[in-house]
Structure 1
Amino acid sequence: MLHITNGDSVVGTLKEAGVPGKYSCWADVLWEGPVQYTGDDDDAFLSQRARFLYESEYSHSYEECLSTLQAWETALKSYRSHDEVVLWFEHDLFDQLILIRLLDWFARHELGDTRLTLICIGEYPGMPGFRGLGELRAEQLAPLLDRRQDVTSPQLQLARAAWKAFTGFDPTFIENILAADTTPLPFLAGALRRLLEEFPATRNGLARSEEQALRAAAELGSTSAGRMFLAIQDMEERSFMGDTSFWRILTRLGATPHLLLRLSAEPGDGFSQRSVDITELGRQVLAGNQDYVRLGGIDKWIGGVRLRGRESQWRWNGSRLVELPI
């Protein structure tokens, strides 16, 4: 039995619980950076992701990033040597994008005698604020194995369509998925809607994650980056963002010449200890009196879509995407 999880933390808990089998994970931040459609060319997919992760300082070298991704991919390719592959995931954006990538991968391979099963939860008894599998203790996680279900053909078909839409050049492909039946993967629609909220807003040019960071800074006053990170988790219906992703957002909002946040740079301070204050320009953008994209331009990937320049072709108006002339 091969277990594939959303990160090393869950792998560690499965080992502690004595769940039998071998373990791997897939923990790429697919909601960040380029994820262009590569079809069956998995090497091209791994290479583009490794390049982004290295350039975004998630790792010390391109080779290190690529080696990690290749190790995860090698575990996938070992599926024929296992009687069963169990996918362990949850309801948020981070996990759902990884899940559709893995289901797309397995849909392109002949499973033979290997059983493919899925554990995917959005709540846990006695935990009203449940955020993910990583919160569960060994004695809570292990019993979930008995709740696993066989992956179905409709789930594979939906995942393939959703993956192709996410990695496509036109974000309305994602809206087409949302307009269709997504019940085979019950958490997918919410995740994809949250993804679309990362497009610049028509009101002020901010992605939802950026707006929440500014709002937290405005409400908390002079505070620490770590305290802000905790605050933005409570603003999400399904929290999905790790601290490294959040530090990258704060760094971008605190970049010259259009500082929306002012970050301290005390020697020896870890990022979470750095103090953060919203600037007057940040308040103006938050209020919708200035447009963040028009101020400083944008160069951002969301899946297969690249947004560039001082006017984004695509904006989010709160309920749907709006295409603007360039």
Structure 2
Amino acid sequence: MNYPIKSIANILHITNDAAMVKNLAASFPGNDFLAWEDALYEGPINTEMDLAQLSDMRANFFSERGGLAREEIRQRYQTRNTQLLAYQEYAEVVLWFDKDLNSQLQLIQLIEWFSRQKMANTILSLISFETMAKEPAYFGLAMLTSHQLQTLMSKRWEVTWGQMSLCQQAWHALGSENPNALVRLCDVNTAMMPYMKNAILRFLRQFPSQANGLSHSEFLISHALLRQQHELNDVYLVMQAKEGTPFVNQAIYCSYLQNMCSGELPMIEQQSIDNEDLLEDEVVVELKMMLKLTDLGRQVLHNWVDWVQVRGINRWLGGAQLSEGNLWRYDQTRRRLIKTYV
């Protein structure tokens, strides 16, 4: 049985990004903090690898995709992992993760990892914010005041073996070559991890749609341009607003755009006002670039043309490498993945 934990000394707080770390550091001086930064909704996941091997795999993926120095990315992972591996130096590790897709995938990864460690005298606890999340004014943990964070801290709970077992199942489903393992997971009672099911369902929508070959993120981007052209940053803001619980960072957003704007038959045309590149050092530069939906883009949005058939595909989502010979599409109506051929 889990129970509220009262001590606030010698604690490592783990959360999803550096911005949240700053908020926590201001609220809990004297503690240590770790940002578990990894966009797990993109790129390969091999659950048979140890943490170091998986980190190297993901460093390779992001260096090849984003044009960043592999060693620089690799060092970031190593620094992050080194701090995690020192968990036994703390009396407690507290997990602060929101309900969006990326936060939930990171939480699944971490709880699964801790489930295989010798905790000794270290307590693993989880912030519970279900009551606060139901309030209309709730926009995420990162927007909470110091007082609100301290209130949540006082109501944290120790992670149970049931939660660990569920995260083990979810992590291995995420890394499976057959992504229908994730579909089956949605039929399991996941109430002890209240945001897991919605996160998994959202991840499934990143697979190409059965209707037109677009992932849901690609659909939101192109749909924002259906009526008129917009600046690149405005499209990003519209996509985030339509998402409900946004999770796509700007670098990943720009990689989606690059795919949709490139090739002989692009979905989106771009006109750079300042002749700037889409990406610079993993962040978006001054986003003074106009985007316009092409005729092909409109045909795809109306389900008259299939984007995968036009563009082809070579993409990793978890343990599934999507290609023309190994293509999984998501049927939103049935909430099922269907294996097809281009």
Give the whole-Å Cα distance in 1 for the aligned partners of 2:115 and 2:35.
18
Task: Give the equivalent residue in structure 2 for 1:295.
Answer: 310
Kindly tell me: are residues 268 and 297 of structure 1, through their superposed partners in 2, closer, same or farther at Cα, counting changes over 3 Å? closer
Kindly tell me: are residues 315 and 273 of structure 1, through their superposed partners in 2, closer, same or farther at Cα, counting changes over 3 Å? same
Kindly tell me: are residues 51 and 243 of structure 1, through their superposed partners in 2, closer, same or farther at Cα, counting changes over 3 Å? same
> What CA RMSD, in Å, does the superposition of the two structures yield over aligned residues?
1.8
Q: What TM-score, normalized by structure 1, do the two folds share? A: 0.93
Kindly tell me: are residues 224 and 162 of structure 1, through their superposed partners in 2, closer, same or farther at Cα, counting changes over 3 Å? same
Give the whole-Å Cα distance in 1 for the aligned partners of 2:286 and 2:15.
28
Task: Give the equivalent residue in structure 1 for 2:218.
Answer: 210
1:304 aligns with 2:312: no
Kindly tell me: are residues 127 and 268 of structure 1, through their superposed partners in 2, closer, same or farther at Cα, counting changes over 3 Å? farther
Task: Give the equivalent residue in structure 1 for 2:64.
Answer: 55
Task: Give the equivalent residue in structure 1 for 2:328.
Answer: 314
1:246 aligns with 2:253: yes
Map 1:257-276 to 2 at 5 A: 257-269=264-276, 270=285, 272-276=287-291
Offset at residue 51 of structure 1 (A): 0.7
Task: Give the equivalent residue in structure 2 for 1:114.
Answer: 122
Deviations 1:271-303 (A, max 9, x none): 522111100100000000100000120011110
Give the whole-Å Cα distance in 2 for the aligned partners of 1:214 and 1:90.
27
Kindly tell me: are residues 272 and 142 of structure 1, through their superposed partners in 2, closer, same or farther at Cα, counting changes over 3 Å? farther
Offset at residue 129 of structure 1 (A): 5.3
Answer yes or no: is the 8 Å Cα contact 2:177–2:320 preserved in 1. Answer: yes
What percent identity do the matched residue pairs reach?
Answer: 30
Offset at residue 147 of structure 1 (A): 1.8
Answer yes or no: is the 8 Å Cα contact 1:14–1:142 preserved in 2. Answer: no
Kindly tell me: are residues 189 and 282 of structure 1, through their superposed partners in 2, closer, same or farther at Cα, counting changes over 3 Å? same
Question: Which of 156, 167, 174 lines up with 2:164 in the alignment?
Answer: 156
Offset at residue 322 of structure 1 (A): 1.3
1:286 aligns with 2:320: no
Give the whole-Å Cα distance in 2 for the aligned partners of 1:120 and 1:24.
19
Q: What TM-score, normalized by structure 2, do the two folds share? A: 0.89
Deviations 1:62-115 (A, max 9, x none): 111111111111111111111000011010101010001001110110101101
Task: Give the equivalent residue in structure 1 for 2:6.
Answer: none
Question: Which of 6, 15, 25 lines up with 1:5 in the alignment?
Answer: 15
1:180 aligns with 2:194: no
2:164 is aligned with what amino acid?
L
Give the whole-Å Cα distance in 1 for the aligned partners of 2:62 and 2:286.
19
Answer yes or no: is the 8 Å Cα contact 1:90–1:122 preserved in 2. Answer: no
Aligned length: 322
Task: Give the equivalent residue in structure 1 for 2:5.
Answer: none
Answer with 140-149 or 60-69: which moved more.
140-149
Give the whole-Å Cα distance in 1 for the aligned partners of 2:150 and 2:76.
26
Give the whole-Å Cα distance in 2 for the aligned partners of 1:313 and 1:189.
23
Please list every run of 5 or more consecutive structure 2 residues that lacks an aligned counterpart in the other structure: 1-10, 277-284
Task: Give the equivalent residue in structure 1 for 2:40.
Answer: 30
1:17 aligns with 2:32: no
Kindly tell me: are residues 88 and 299 of structure 1, through their superposed partners in 2, closer, same or farther at Cα, counting changes over 3 Å? same
1:18 is aligned with what amino acid?
F
Give the whole-Å Cα distance in 2 for the aligned partners of 1:216 and 1:158.
37
